[in-house]
Homo-oligomer: A and B are copies of this chain.
Amino acid sequence: MRHIKLVISYDGTDYVGWQVQPNGRSIQQCLESAWASVSGEQLRITASGRTDSGVHALGQVCSFATKSQLPTQQIVRAINAETPFDISVLTAEEAPDGFHAIRDAKQKTYRYHVQYGRIMDPLRLRTCWYVPGEIDLESMQKAAVLITGEHDFASFESAGAERSTTIRNVIDLQVTPESVHNFPGLEIAITANGFLYNMVRNIVGTLIRVGKNREEIEWVAWVRDQKNRRHAGQTAPAHGLFLDHVVY
């Protein structure tokens, strides 16, 4: 069987998320039915990870095994001709035999965008979290260090998709200022060898509590060490989150 690896981008606003669900249109379903139109094959397309409703992707990776002999360049064009405009296949390539988009992922990078200040940017309603008032960026940067490295991230795992271990290695976590349309904002970029359910959004919600001076910097280490979700900050909303890329 031939294995194809796709890199795709999407605006997650109008979807129930990656995974096929009875209650609405999913990214997976749109891709699978696009491929069925192209090739006649009804098959399962697997992504590096499920993204929730409203979460976007700049470089999600997914894969499938096919009998089709269509060249990869034509696969890109053919699927894009069948998917809605808010989903694009960026590249298609031959993957090694038995390639699996989840199992073989070595690390992933997410980006989360926050806009703050007195006024909401009306042009980024779908793509960033508006936090009213000021944010102390430097405190967030110091707190981010406490989350970097190999830790038990149980405090940052939402219920709903438990894994065998909650230990992950956060390889890099950067909080950088980002001004768009003259509105102050920030970007949180996080790279890890794997993520628990809602881990990025729970880390963002926790760091923002520090940025709002509701908690001390050291509180983040305390939360981390509790290994209990109820101590962390709120789950930041889905629409600020982008799956940036996946490394294999």
Name A residues whose Cβ lies closer than 8 Å to a Cβ of B: 9-11, 56, 58, 76-77, 80, 85-90, 118-123, 125, 127, 181-182
10 smallest CB-CB distances across A and B, nearest first, come from A86-B122, A88-B122, A11-B122, A11-B123, A88-B119, A10-B122, A9-B122, A85-B125, A58-B181, A88-B120
Q: Which residue of B lies closest to A245 (CB)?
A: B182
Asked if A11 contacts B119 (CB within 8 A), the reply is no
Q: Which residues of B contact A127 (CB under 8 A)?
A: 123
SS class of chain A's interface: helix, strand, loop or mixed?
mixed
CA distance A95 to B90 in the complex (A): 50
- The distance from the CB of A73 to the nearest CB of chain B, in whole angstroms, is 9
Query: Which listed residue (B85, B86, B119) contacts A80, Cβ 8 A?
Result: B119
Q: Which residues of B contact A58 (CB under 8 A)?
A: 123, 181-182
Asked if A90 contacts B76 (CB within 8 A), the reply is no
12 A-B pairs with CB atoms under 8 Å apart are A9-B122, A10-B123, A11-B125, A58-B123, A58-B181, A58-B182, A76-B118, A77-B118, A85-B120, A85-B125, A87-B122, A88-B119
Q: Which residues of B contact A77 (CB under 8 A)?
A: 118
